[in-house]
Amino acid sequence: MKVPYKTVKDKSEAFGKIKSYITPSLFSKYNINPKIEYLPGHDQIVAQGKGFELKIVFAEGDLNLDLNVGIFLMPFKQVILEKIEKEVRALV
Residue 12, SS3 per DSSP: helix
Strand partners, 55: 46, 66
Q: What is the pLDDT of residue 33?
A: 85
- As a whole-number percent, the residues of the chain with pLDDT over 70 amount to 100
* pLDDT over threshold 90, residue 31: no
Model pTM above 0.85:
yes
Q: Where are the domains of the chain?
A: 2-91
CATH of span 2-91 = 3.30.160
Strand partners, 49: 52
Residue 55, SS3 per DSSP: strand
